[in-house]
């Protein structure tokens, strides 16, 4: 249930509605819109009777929300969510280009790649310090040393840092050091971590799970927002199917669906979806053409030596080709945000 206030409603009137909702045993969440205030009624198990709220002063309407999600819905926040990271903006008509290696392997490796991708227009650097690996014997990331290197990359290049948190403890460290906290596909329904992310002061990059429906993805974002952090960026990265020509099947129709249902930005990670270098460029173009508000791409200057996911990492020269390939699909102002340097 969404209680919509009149334009001229006073703060006091809003406060009275909140109190009435809480007296009825629900949780109220005030949403400041551009024009007017709306108040979400949360944690109702069944349908809510709107009558007691409709008669309060300043109330314009009460809209039943039949979808299971509320805070992530366009009904709740019609305008695109805009997220600010330093001098960059994410969402709406902005375009977010994230690039970097799967894992941070050394300061030299990270800085080399960061300088390359920056030159081609990336404003965000990705690189895992803590890696979720299928095998306990695979390289698990450099840990705190990796975070230190990422901080050094930002200092040296000005790129903003995106890196993954695997649990509460790591989330504390990542929140300190990174600009955007990533929650990986395998943790999309780690509800404890989602709640922790909802208390973070940094934006969250939430990747779709390998077998998650769009509704489940939005519900995972709802966990984060309902804890108080509205800065969520969604990421389509392929789902698991019978198809064997790519590692996962990139489900680009997620983009129009999310953009219709939710104001949250949605970007695409073609590298993990494809798992093969030779599909990354065409799928990046397809993602942008379908309306993705950003890309996250794996790049490595020596993919054959990469400690993880080498076969899907682009060579820097291929990343340059990727950027050249998507420029014609962007708006003029989006192109201006990338401003790749001539090589």
Question: Of residues 280-299, which lie at the interface with its own copies (CB under 8 A)?
Answer: 282-283, 285-291
Query: Whose Cβ is closer to its own copies: residue 18's or residue 65's?
Result: 65
Nearer to its own copies, 268 or 299 (CB): 268
Least CB distance to its own copies at residue 241 (A): 5
Task: Tell me the window of 89-97, 104-112, 152-160, 277-285 that interacts with its own copies (CB under 8 A).
Answer: 277-285
Kind and range of the H or E run holding 95:
none
- Asked if 333 interacts with its own copies (CB under 8 A), we say no
Residues 200-239 that bind its own copies (CB under 8 A): 209-211, 213-216, 219, 222-223, 226-227, 239
Order of strands, sheet of 27-32, starting from the edge strand that comes earlier in the sequence = 27-32, 37-42, 2-5, 59-63
Residue 107 or 216 having the CB closest to its own copies: 216
User: Which listed range, 1-9, 48-56, 142-150, 184-192, lies at the site for its own copies (CB under 8 A)?
Assistant: 184-192
- Separation CA 179–CA 201 (nearest Å): 10
Q: Within 13 Å of residue 115, how many CA atoms lie on the same side as its CB?
A: 9
Residue position matching structure tokens 């909140």: 18
- Give the count of beta carbons closer than 10 Å to the beta carbon of residue 201: 9
Is there binding between residue 135 and its own copies (CB under 8 A)?
yes
What's the token pair of residue 239? Answer: 């789902």
Residues numbered 86-125 forming contacts with its own copies, rule: CB under 8 A? none
Work out which of 25, 34, 47, 136 binds its own copies, going by CB under 8 A: 136
82 binds its own copies (CB under 8 A): no
**What are the respective helix, strand and coil percentages of the chain, to the nearest 5?**
40, 20, 45
Relative to beta strand 124-126, strand 96-100 is: parallel
What residues contact residue 155 under an 8 Å CB cut-off, 6+ apart? none
Q: Toward its own copies, which CB reaches closer, 90 or 221?
A: 221
**256 is an interface residue for its own copies by CB under 8 A:** yes
**What is the smallest separation between the CB atom of 134 and its own copies, expressed in angstroms?**
5
Residue with smaller CB distance to its own copies, 86 or 278 = 278
The H or E element spanning position 291 is: none
Of 14-73, binders to its own copies (CB under 8 A) are 42-45, 68-70
Give the residue ranges of DSSP H helices in 275-315. 277-289
φ, ψ (nearest 5 deg) of residue 192: -65, -45
Least Å distance between CB 9 and its own copies?
25
d(CA 161, CA 153): 8
Please tell me whether residue 143 binds its own copies under the rule CB under 8 A: no
Task: Print the binding letters for residues 162-181 with its own copies: x by CB under 8 A, - otherwise.
Answer: ----xxxxx-----------
Between 111 and 327, whose beta carbon lies closer to its own copies?
Answer: 327
Identify the DSSP state of 136: T
Do residues 101 and 310 lie in contact, with contact meaning Cβ atoms separated by under 8 Å?
Answer: no
Nearer to its own copies, 58 or 238 (CB): 238
């Amino acid at each position: 249930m969404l209680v919509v206030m009149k334009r001229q409603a006073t703060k006091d009137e809003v406060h009275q509605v909140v109190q009435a909702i809480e007296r009825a045993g629900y949780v109220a969440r005030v949403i400041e819109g551009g024009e007017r205030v709306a108040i979400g009624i949360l944690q109702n198990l069944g349908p809510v009777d709107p009558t007691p709220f409709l008669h309060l002063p300043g109330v314009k309407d009460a809209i039943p929300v039949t979808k299971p999600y509320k805070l992530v819905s366009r009904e709740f926040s019609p305008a695109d969510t805009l997220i600010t990271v330093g001098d960059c903006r994410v969402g709406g008509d902005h375009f977010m280009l994230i690039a970097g290696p799967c894992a941070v392997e050394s300061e030299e490796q990270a800085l080399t790649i960061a300088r390359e991708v920056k030159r081609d227009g990336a404003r965000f650097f990705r690189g895992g310090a803590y890696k979720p690996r299928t095998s306990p014997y695979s390289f698990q990331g450099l840990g705190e040393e990796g975070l230190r290197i990422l901080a050094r990359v930002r200092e040296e290049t000005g790129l903003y840092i995106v890196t993954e948190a695997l649990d509460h403890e790591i989330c504390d460290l990542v929140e300190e050091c990174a600009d955007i906290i990533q929650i990986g596909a395998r943790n999309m329904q780690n509800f404890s971590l989602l709640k922790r992310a909802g208390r973070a002061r940094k934006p969250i990059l939430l990747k779709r799970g390998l077998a998650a429906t769009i509704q489940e993805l939005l519900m995972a974002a709802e966990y984060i927002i309902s804890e108080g952090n509205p800065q969520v960026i969604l990421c389509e990265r392929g789902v698991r199917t019978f198809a064997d020509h790519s590692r996962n099947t990139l489900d680009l129709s997620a983009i129009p669906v999310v953009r219709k249902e939710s104001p949250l930005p949605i970007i695409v990670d073609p590298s993990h979806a494809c798992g093969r270098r030779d599909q990354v460029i065409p799928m990046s173009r397809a993602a942008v053409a379908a309306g993705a508000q950003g890309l996250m791409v794996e790049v490595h200057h020596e993919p054959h030596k990469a400690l993880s996911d080498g076969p899907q990492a682009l060579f820097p020269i291929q990343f340059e080709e990727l950027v050249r390939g998507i420029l014609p699909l962007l708006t003029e102002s989006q192109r201006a945000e990338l401003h790749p340097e001539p090589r």
